Amino acid sequence: MSLTPAEAQSALNDIEKTENRTAASQYHRVSSPYLILWGVIWVIGYTVSAAFQEMSIVWMPLIVVGVVGSILLARRAPNARTAEFGWRYGASFAVIGIFNTALVAVMSPLDYNQMSALIPLAVGVYYAFIGIWTKAWRMMPLGLALIGLTTLGYFMLPEYFRYWMAAVGGGGLIVGGLWMRNAGS
Amino acid sequence: MTDQPDPIIHQPVRLKIMSALKALPDRDLLEFVRLKALSGATEGNLGAHISSLEQAGYIEVQKDFHHNRPRTRAKLTRAGRRAFEDYVAFLRGIIGET
């Protein structure tokens, strides 16, 4: 049995392609439960704060639930590499939180809709960058969709913006999480 | 390095199975259903190739129940990882890479 250089190159290409697909599938599946968790939190937070503006404080316990839930998901990860992914995911959200706090301080005064749009826009950028820089390419269309839909709702439906964000922001994250979960199966 | 490719790995579906398992961290397992998607093989075909690799000692197959459903998963053994690395080195040797 002998192989030509072209056949050997073709086999190496197949190997690289399969390894990349497997790695992408792993990244997508690891990110799935985080997206679903935060999607549910967004749906509850935006819906409650839209229906009862005085209940905006609901975000505080919800964020605590999200952070604790994310830590638990990272600890449940089956191996060191995916646990590290969870750690980075949580740390990145902390950076986004700091970034948004600084942005609000610099840009104030902001109205409620502007405040409500900031986090989804920052999260959208974060997801798009994950998609560009890692093998989890599905994060890029998810991030761009989040940015696009947030901007659309902000300008087209200002009176219903928080309901809009509950539906397309939170709902989008949940759908995105389910899309990631099905990667490679 | 040998002058012949490993006949166990040198088959398109088995090569994809080995490549997919090699992409996982050590001790990580891949579900049969995902191997099927990644290799593009039919269920029966995949089962036959997995058996060949298992008999060669290149992969280890684990069967259990997950959420009350039967689950089959596979991972590379140490011998399988070494055989795969030798196979890649063999291919690189042919195209003049070291």
Per-residue pLDDT, A164: 94
Distance, CA of A151 to CA of A121 (rounded, Å) = 8
Q: What is the pLDDT of residue A81?
A: 58
8 Å CB contact of B30 and A23: no
The count of C-alpha atoms lying within 13 angstroms of the C-alpha of B36, restricted to the half-sphere facing its C-beta, is 13
Minimal Cα distance from B37: which residue of A?
Answer: A185
Residue in chain B closest to A2 (alpha carbons) equals B4
| pLDDT at residue A184, rounded to an integer | 54
For residues B40-46, average pLDDT: 87
Predicted pLDDT of residue B81: 93
Q: Which two tokens stand for residue A19?
A: 């390894």
User: Chain A within 8 Å of B5 (Cβ-Cβ)?
Assistant: yes
In angstroms, rounded to a whole number, what is the distance separating the alpha carbons of residues A18 and B14?
A: 12
* pLDDT in the model for residue B2: 62
What is the C-alpha end-to-end distance of chain A, expressed in Å? Answer: 34
Higher local confidence (pLDDT), A92 or A9: A9
The confidence score (pLDDT) of residue A1 equals 62
Short-list A105, A83, A1, A95, CA closest to A34: A83
Percentage helix, strand, coil for chain A under 3-state DSSP, each rounded to 5: 90, 0, 10
Q: pLDDT by residue (tens digit) across A24-83?
A: 888 888 888 988 999 999 999 999 988 887 777 888 899 889 888 888 887 776 665 565
8 Å CB contact between B70 and B31: no
> Residue A116 — very low, low, confident or very high, per pLDDT cuts 50/70/90?
confident
C-alpha torsion angle, residues A124, A126, A128, A132 (rounded to 10): 180
For residue range A121-178, what is the model confidence (pLDDT) as tens digits? 998 998 899 889 887 888 899 999 999 999 999 999 999 999 999 999 999 999 989 9
pLDDT above 70 for A86? no
Taking one residue from A and the other from B, the number of pairs with CB-CB distance under 8 angstroms is 70
Using a CB–CB cutoff of 8 Å, tell me whether A11 touches chain B.
yes
pLDDT bucket at B92, cuts 50 / 70 / 90 = very high
Quote ipTM for the complex: 0.85
How far apart CA A125 and CA A140 sit, in angstroms, is 9
Mean pLDDT of B25-48: 85
Contact B23, B38 (CB under 8 A): no
Q: Which two tokens mark A155?
A: 């300008």
Cross-chain Cβ contact B38/A22 below 8 Å? yes
pLDDT computed for residue B56 by the predictor:
95
| pTM of the complete model beyond 0.80 | no
